[in-house]
Amino acid sequence: MISVLVGVRRDLEFAMEEAGMVIPPRKSVKCLIDTGPTKTILDPVLLQEFGQIPTGKVFITTPSTDDEPLAVQLFDVSLAIVNDVGDAVLDLKSIAVIERPILAHQGFHGLLGMDVLQKIRLVLDGPAGEFSVSG
Amino acid sequence: MELDQELETYRKHLPELLADEGKHVLIKGDVIEGIYESRDEALRRGLKVFGIVPFMVKEIEEKETVYFISRFSI
């Protein structure tokens, strides 16, 4: 599990400012590192907190879907990963993430997929019980 | 679900959109607003033209990418 800052993407932030809307601050949430999915997934409750609007649709399959892929919504958000001392090791101004609802009750708000993981270095030292993230 | 109409519009116009495969199309309802080099460019244009409302930006692909999500049981 890793802490991730999620917020409104930059261009939407500007549009909200111009419209006189309040821009919600970035929120720190727990995400699970998952090398399975190629795209990152966030919980819809979290996305609603930021007043996000859907910006696309893609298709997914899961272990429990049939042969027919499922259409799901995309949302473009800002996403940053901060290390233990508070330094940003990755700061994405805009990234398209998949919205799926069954994450929060498992103790995390998202799955960090390979679209994000391919931009950072993860080092797991199993015997030492240590894990580190760097840019 | 939101953007169903936009997805239908994309599918309907896919044969002609394929001339710009790899680029990103901006769609609102049954209107194709334009085709852009990047997703970010299309998003900015969408906000400018339509405002803070749902619209669809989609990469133009001959074969739709299907993302496998290993952890989900839906």
Residues of A in contact with B64 (CB under 8 A): 59, 69
Among chain A residues, the shortest Cα distance to B73 is held by: A64
Collapsing DSSP to helix, strand or coil, A49 comes out as helix
Q: Of the candidates B54, B70, B73, which has its C-beta nearest A53's C-beta?
A: B54
Query: Which two tokens mark B29?
Result: 């309802």
Query: What is the ipTM metric for this complex?
Result: 0.90
- Letter for the amino acid at A99? E
Residue B55 CB contacts under 8 Å (≥ 6 apart), including other chains:
A55, B6, B26, B27, B28, B33, B46
Residues of A in contact with B56 (CB under 8 A): 54-57
> What's the mean pLDDT in A77-96?
88
Structure confidence at residue B72 (pLDDT):
60
Residue A35 CB contacts under 8 Å (≥ 6 apart), including other chains:
A114, A117
A33 touches chain B (CB under 8 A): no
Collapsing DSSP to helix, strand or coil, A65 comes out as coil
**Residue A70 and residue B69: Cα distance in Å, rounded?**
11
Structure confidence at residue B73 (pLDDT):
53
Tell me: pLDDT of A12 over 80.
Answer: yes
- pTM higher than 0.95, yes or no? no
**Residue A116 and residue A90: Cα distance in Å, rounded?**
9
- pLDDT by residue (tens digit) across A110-125? 999 999 999 999 888 8
A63 touches chain B (CB under 8 A): yes
**Residue B44 and residue B21: Cα distance in Å, rounded?**
20
B67 touches chain A (CB under 8 A): yes
**Least confident window among A4-13, A83-92, A121-130, B23-32:** A83-92
Among chain A residues, the shortest Cα distance to B55 is held by: A55
CB-CB under 8 Å, B53 with A53: yes
In sequence order, which ranges of chain B are alpha helices (DSSP H)? 4-17, 39-50
Structure confidence at residue B31 (pLDDT):
96
CB-CB under 8 Å, B39 with A76: yes
**Least confident window among A8-12, A28-32, A130-134, B52-56:** A130-134
pLDDT in tens, chain B (74 residues): 789 999 999 999 999 999 999 999 999 999 999 999 999 999 999 999 999 999 999 999 999 999 988 776 54
Among chain B residues, the shortest Cα distance to A94 is held by: B40
Among chain B residues, the shortest Cα distance to A39 is held by: B67
- Residue where the block lists tokens 């809307």: A21
